Structure 1
């Protein structure tokens, strides 16, 4: 049995009844394990622990909190042998994220759950999946599953003003990768980020920022197959929301920061191309978000030759083509919540068998 619990997943724990032990075979320290399952201690990773100010939005109110990771440890799949997980989580690696927070508001926080807003992300921004465990046997006297760091237990029912709590969040991360970031997101207070180790994670095929790579492109004007092109990310830079003051943004966009991604495209083929290669560009953030470019209706077409967009980020020039042997620069605008930042820039070319390109954002 599994379901959606906030941004994460709810999973069922199979427990013994009233024995003070769990069918999962131990708590990670080897005590009480008679089958050899789950006896390995989780491996602690270096994680930044700077306390930061943020918010947590519950069902009825938004509360101010100070919050930070305290410990991050990598477990093994054997830890969850007696947990009913969704199929898409099987084969992933459990990470135990212990966090502490203080209620800095003037009211008590009831049924708090800020740990559910945490995740662990990879170098390319791929987020782990937070999982909340549900003990199917409320009469069991011992730990629900024997998982380390009390990750099978809920947090306090209430935290008074000035009160503190320490809780644990279980996050499932794709196997074979080292996490780069611990991320906390709240719809009101934006995103908070902490480095895991040096904050770089593993490469996983990511190209260094600014590396030129081969791809191809095909549009409605090409007569044959896809045209070979060379793609080079030039810059990823933050702007200001005031840059977009002439546009009517949605309310959800008004607590964001625009990021400008500029990419050079060189036509290495023999046919002209429409300057719309930015349709293949994507961005993923350190907070685990996949972001598409902001569509802007530009009414400033003129004989000046300026491209679509805003002064800080110009795109294609209307009624032009990218000639063979020529290069053009296109710029896209991506909105991210305050505190978040780009992690990976991607480009999906056109043509048979063309593979996506992925670069570190910086």
Structure 2
């Protein structure tokens, strides 16, 4: 449920603050000296733009029907935001400008309507772009490379049948191509629009079954290593989980069975629970960690057998682990990541394709 208003300042998702230079924010940001870089025109990208039916749930806790349609996606340049003081982790990222139209298809007027908050521009590896909102009244806005529609707000109140449009800014790492636009429907599903010409790979993302060294810790929190080889990602069924008491929201999701083979390449015994470090990311950017099912002494899920918990993984030994990860309908896996832990740990990611490697 979304109940926030449009930000009357400069803020990104996850409370990432941008300060409009010269606007005198709380930290007293000052204009950066020197001439501004030349403006690079935003480059429109080919993309699917069919109108789709979705819902928006506001502070009234009611789902209001909408017709949603992305009308333009354009690749910008980091220099577009030269007049904005960005957090360090956002500097050098590439802005993408997404324009969407939304129509109130219900019978009554809808207020506090901000569907852009549910949209995302996602990389080909499923990484969701950082969503940014700028001061719409910033006098410096006309001096940067932002498209005109990204300098105005959409309507927050729509009468029945009325249409409005809004532009939202998303930041992706340089070299990571956008793969799709998504809308996380408040009704539980995900709407997707594919971007034409998207690369099938991404910098730092391994092929689906390529072995990779990962760093973890043993039961005494000592740094250990293993060789991880994703075997397959299989689409499951809620019928497979019928013995378990699932929450209402879980019953709207699709289970995926992730199987990985690990070889202990370190000096210490490891618990056969390495899949606890896995994150499955959907094409919309939604992340799903291991699902925990209470089944003490039970048969588990035959379609995704767990490793034996009392058997330690000795140095040089291998173990095959399967875990269940839940994603929304219409939001298939895009990448699989081993987060890692211990000294020198870093995330390792593979491209993920459901039913790949059966």
| Cα distance in structure 2, aligned partners of 1:109 and 1:172 | 30
Measured at CA, do residues 144 and 53 of structure 1 come closer, stay the same or move farther in structure 2, by a change above 3 Å?
Answer: farther
Indicate yes or no: 2:169 matched with 1:153. Answer: no
Give the structure-2-normalised TM-score: 0.79
1:328 is aligned to 2:319: yes
Given the alignment, which residue of 282, 285, 290 partners 1:288? 285
Root-mean-square deviation (CA), in Å?
3.4
Deviation by residue 1:82-137 (Cα, 9 ceiling, x = unmatched) = 34544543332221111123322222333422122112122332221222222346
Structure 1, 266-275 or 238-247: larger mean CA deviation: 266-275
- Partner of residue 59, structure 1: 59
- Alignment deviations for residues 170-210 of structure 1 (CA, whole Å, 9 cap, x no partner): 22222342222212113324222222224446421211111
Provide structure 2 residue ranges, at least 5 long, that are not aligned to the other structure.
1-7, 24-30, 354-358
- Mapped to 2, the partners of 1:274 and 1:113 lie a distance apart of 46
TM-score between the two structures when normalised by the length of structure 1:
0.78
Q: Does 2:153 align with 1:162?
A: no
Aligned pair in 2 of structure 1 residues 164, 112: CA closer, same or farther (>3 Å)?
same
Give the distance between the partners of 1:15 and 1:216, measured in 2 at CA.
45
- Provide closer, same or farther for how the CA distance between residues 166 and 300 of structure 1 changes in structure 2, counting only shifts above 3 A: same
In structure 1, the residue matched to 2:96 is 95
Equivalent in the alignment of 1:299: 296
Structure 1 residue runs of 5 or longer lacking an equivalent are 17-23, 25-34
Q: Which residue of 2 aligns with 1:177?
A: 176
Contact residue 282 and residue 292 of structure 1 kept, 8 A: yes
Alpha-carbon separation, structure 1, partners of 2:137 and 2:267: 65
* 1:72-83 to 2 correspondences below 5 Å: 72-83=73-84
In the alignment, does 2:251 pair up with 1:260? Answer: no
TM-superposition CA deviations, 1:35-74 (whole Å, max 9, x none): 7755321011122223222212222232112223221111
2:45 maps to what in 1? 45
Q: Residue 125 of structure 1 corresponds to which residue in structure 2?
A: 126
Pair 1:311 & 2:308 matched? no
Relative distance call for 1:153 and 1:232 in structure 2 (3 A) is same
Q: From the superposition, tell whether residues 218 and 80 of structure 1 become closer, same or farther in structure 2 (CA, over 3 Å).
A: closer
* Paired position in structure 1 for 2:5: none
Report the CA distance shift for 1:202/1:118 in structure 2 as closer, same or farther (over 3 A): same
Give the whole-Å Cα distance in 2 for the aligned partners of 1:218 and 1:88. 28
Please tell me whether the aligned partners of residues 7 and 117 of structure 1 are also in contact (alpha carbons under 8 angstroms).
no
Where do 1:204-215 residues align within 5 Å?
Answer: 204-215=203-214
Using the TM superposition, give the Cα deviation of residue 316 of structure 1 relative to its aligned residue in structure 2, in angstroms.
Answer: 1.4
Name which of 337, 343, 352 aligns with 1:346.
Answer: 337
Shift of 1:345: 0.8
Other-structure match for 1:196: 195
Cα distance in 2 between the residues matched to 1:216 and 1:147: 42
Give how far 1:340 is off: 2.0
Between the aligned partners of 1:51 and 1:236, the Cα distance in structure 2 is 31
1:242 deviates by 3.5
Q: Report how many aligned residue pairs link the two structures.
A: 334
Question: Alpha-carbon deviations, 1:293-346, whole Å to 9, x = none?
Answer: 111222235xxxx6xx41221211242234565543211111223322222112
Match of 1:231 in 2: 228
Counterparts of 2:47 and 2:306, CA distance in 1 = 39
Bigger-Rg structure (1/2): 1
Which of 320, 345, 352 is the matching residue for 1:361?
352
